[in-house]
Amino acid sequence: MRELVLFIGALLLFVNAEAQTQAVRIFGNAPDYAGRKIALQVSNDPVSDHTETLVELNILPDGSFDESVLINQTTCCFATFDRWKAVIYLQPTQSYELVFPPSQPLTEQEKRNPFFRSSEIAFGLKDLPESDINRLIQKFESAYNDEENRYFNEIFKDKSTAAADLMLSDLNSQFPKSENSYFENYKFFRLTAIRFALSQDKTNSFVKTYIDRTPIDFNLPPFREIFDQQFTNFFYQESNKIGGDQFRVLVGTANLSGIENNLTKQKGWSTKLSRMVILKGISDGYYQAQFNPQTMLVLLAKIAQSDWTPAEKSTAAFLKSKLIFLTKGTAAPDLALKTLNGDAIKLSSLKGKMTYLSFTTVTNPICRQHLDEMKKFGQQFASNVEFVTVLPEADLARKEVILQQNWPGKILIADDKAIETYRVKTFPTAFLLDEDQTFIASPALNPLDGLQQQLAGILKNKRIEELRNQAK
């Protein structure tokens, strides 16, 4: 009898979970993107920038695509392709016929431009009812922009409370309370941005009234915007205000429980908000001179061993990976590369020697000077250092010329994804890896600026260390 009761209970839990998760259909025709796979992604925290793929749109040769995905609540997701970041809001049980923007691939210069940002647009959608969340948000944003333009000078220049109240009143009148809770939260935080723009209010009262509201949805774009505005440089701001000495000590000593108690007990914030604010403080504090970066990493290590929720620990882990990515002492990401003849080769297969990994292009005269300079000392280090020159796919058109140069080491080809993995924005960019492919120098010196001396010094120190170990 007991086993039957347990079975029924488990079955009810399964049925309940299935009932909460419902399918969404996403289909359409995008001939400009035929043959491509474009991921719809979600981001559920405003700190680490980590994204997860919700569904991948497999666009067939004829341009058609038809996919489904299971979700349990309204979800904001986006796809980044060409120069676009296209956004859509998905609701359980709904079907969406997407309309893609015209294909506009990035130029090589834009790909390498560290300041380039994708243009954010809304996906085109066919035959949606007026009650759909995408339609509601589009209409609201149009009205919001009209009102903001109307009152811009009074609110942002003159700091007029009366103008802000008029704008809020106009929008509330045009969009009275609805039954769509997601849209109501969207409106609330969008209007909160006007209140914040007017006063730049970072008081505890403002946080408790306008931000720390149940439920907190980190997937909601207007919430993420106001969260970022309110809590950017939080550790710095809190430590340097009048009476902030105690908080500065808590941060400086990596007192995680003390920082959390300060927010939850003294300020009265919810645990969920407080912990995300702590993560935001760590993220910003890592780059600020007032705080030791290692102290920020210690806080993240303490979070990993704490009673924080799995989702919060996951955000902390993603944040740590982001902060230490490509830094000295960390593991170099593996790369799938190709030889000039098209044979596949992995960067990890070259372990055993130090690796000088240089991302370059033969179309750049400075890059060619570096490669020519390496010919002068490449043989000197050949037994200890693997020189790996990574070229973009476009350089394959100059294959015969490249082969005639007798540049040292391996000349390999990488696609855009591999180059982006190492965040290469300008050519040349180089890294020096140890025998186990951890970073020794990131970035490394170039051949015209001391690379030969750097390699000689590292090898000398390694030899001295070997002799010391032998003498023990």
Residue 472 is predicted with a pLDDT of: 72
Residue 2 is predicted with a pLDDT of: 47
Cα 313 from Cα 310, distance rounded (Å): 5
Residue appearing with tokens 């209010």: 201
Can you tell me the mean pLDDT for 390-418? 93
Q: What pLDDT band is residue 6 in, cutting at 50, 70 and 90? A: very low
- Kindly give the pairing relationship between strand 385-392 and strand 119-122: unpaired
Cα 85 from Cα 101, distance rounded (Å): 10
Residue 435 is predicted with a pLDDT of: 95
Report the mean per-residue pLDDT for the chain.
92
Structure token digits, residue 352: 């055993």
Can you tell me the mean pLDDT for 455-467? 91
Can you tell me the mean pLDDT for 144-163? 91
Q: Edge to edge, what strands does the sheet with 95-99 contain?
A: 64-71, 22-29, 95-99, 124-126
pLDDT (tens digit per residue) in 356-387: 999 999 999 999 999 999 999 999 999 999 99
Tell me: pLDDT of 18 over 80: no
Residue 5 is predicted with a pLDDT of: 44
HSE (side-chain half, CA atoms, 13 Å) at 398: 17
Of the CATH numbers 3.40.390, 3.40.1050, 3.40.50, 2.60.40, which one belongs to the domain with range 2-128?
Answer: 2.60.40
Residue 370 is predicted with a pLDDT of: 96
Q: Sign (positive/negative) of CA torsion 311, 314, 318, 323?
A: positive
* CATH class given for the domain over 336-471: alpha beta
The ranges assigned to domains in the chain are: 2-128, 135-324, 336-471
